[in-house]
Amino acid sequence: MSLIHRGGIHPTAIVASGAVLAADVEIGPYCIVGDDVVIGARTRLVSHAVVSGPTTIGEDCVIHPFAALGGPPQVLVYNGEPTRLEVGDRNVIREYVTMHRGTPTGRSVTSVGSDCLFMAQAHVAHDCVVEDRVVMAHAATLGGHVHVGEVALIGGLAAIHQWGRIGRHVNIGGLAAVTKDVIPYGSAWGNHAHLEGLNLVGLKRRGFPRETVNDLRAAYRLLFADEGTFQERVEDTARVFAGSDAVMEIVDFIRADANRPLCLPAREL
C-alpha cells in the first residue's frame, strides 16, 4: 500500500500555508514543510523529513527520512536574519543529512548544485557552495564557507575546515581532516590530510583523454619537484602547459586569493 496520500501530501504531514509546492510533489508521512519553502516538480520527501525556510529545492530530488534542510546556521552571531538555502535538481539526500542556511556576514545563502549524492549524516554548513555531481559519503562534513568543485568525492567521516576549497574532480579519502585547499584533480587523505597525488582513478572513470591525463601527471611532477621554490615551479608549469585547460585550472586555483593554505604532498609539509 502506498504511503503517499492522494494529491501528493500524506495526511500526517504538516505543510505551512506559505510553502509553494509543484503540483506533483510528494510529501510523505510525518514530514514538516515550513513557510518560505519552494519545492520543484516531482521531488519526493519520503517520510519524517523537515524542510525549513527560506529554502528552495529543485526538481526530481529524493529526500529520505530524518533529513533536516534549511535550518538556521550553527553560529552564535546569527540572530534570525532572512538567509536561505538553495538546492538544485536530481539530488539524493539520505537519512539524517543536514544543510543549513547562510549567514548575513557570509554569502547569506548556502548553495547546492544538481545531481549530487549526500549519504547518511552528511553535513553542509552555512554559506557553503557545493557544485554539481558531488558525492559526500557517510558522515562527511563541510565547515562553513567551504567551496566544493563539481564531481568531487568526499569520503566517509572526512571533514573539511571552514573556508576550505576543494577543486573539481578531487578525491578526499575517508576519515581525512582537510585543513588546507586541495587542487583540482588531486587526491588527498590522512589526519591532517596531505596531497597523495592525482585522482587518476576518477579521471579514468570520467573519460578524460589520455593526453589530458598525461599533461596533468607531467604538470604535477613539475609543480612538486625538488628544484627551485614553489612559486618558481608554479610559473614554470604555467609557461610549459599554457595550452592545457586542465593544468591551467590547477595553476589558477593555486594563484587565487584564498583563506586557507594549500594542501601539499607529505614531503613538502
174: its cell numbers: 575517508
Q: What confidence tens digit (pLDDT) does each residue in 22-54 have?
A: 989 999 999 999 999 999 999 999 999 999 999
Q: Assess whether pLDDT exceeds 70 at residue 7.
A: no
Q: Which of 34, 88, 144, 164 is catalytic?
A: 144
Is 64 among the catalytic positions? no
Least reliable range by pLDDT among 3-12, 22-31, 104-113, 223-232: 3-12
SS3 162: coil
**pLDDT value at residue 5:** 44
Least reliable range by pLDDT among 4-18, 46-60, 243-257: 4-18
Task: Report the alpha-carbon distance of residue 113 to residue 100 in Å, rounded.
Answer: 15
* CA distances in angstroms from 32 to 72, 82, 101, listed in the order given: 16, 19, 17
Cβ atoms within 10 A of the Cβ of 40, count?
19
The closest alpha carbon to 119, from 187, 51, 62, belongs to 62
Average pLDDT, whole number, for the chain?
95
Q: Which of 64, 126, 161, 169 is catalytic?
A: 126
C-beta of residue 103 within 8 angstroms of C-beta of residue 121: no
Q: Which of 89, 127, 181, 215 is catalytic?
A: 127
- The structure's pTM equals 0.94
Is 71 among the catalytic positions? no
**pLDDT value at residue 268:** 59
Domains and CATH numbers, the chain: 14-145 (2.160.10.10), 205-268 (1.20.1180.10)
**pLDDT value at residue 1:** 36
The closest alpha carbon to 126, from 175, 150, 180, 162, belongs to 162
Q: Assess whether pLDDT exceeds 90 at residue 186.
A: yes
**pLDDT value at residue 189:** 95
Task: Report the alpha-carbon distance of residue 82 to residue 72 in Å, rounded.
Answer: 10
Is 115 among the catalytic positions? no
pLDDT classification of 267: cutoffs 50, 70, 90 = confident
Tell me whether residue 53 is exposed, middle or buried, using C-beta atoms within 10 angstroms of its C-beta: 0 to 12, 13 to 18, 19 or more: buried
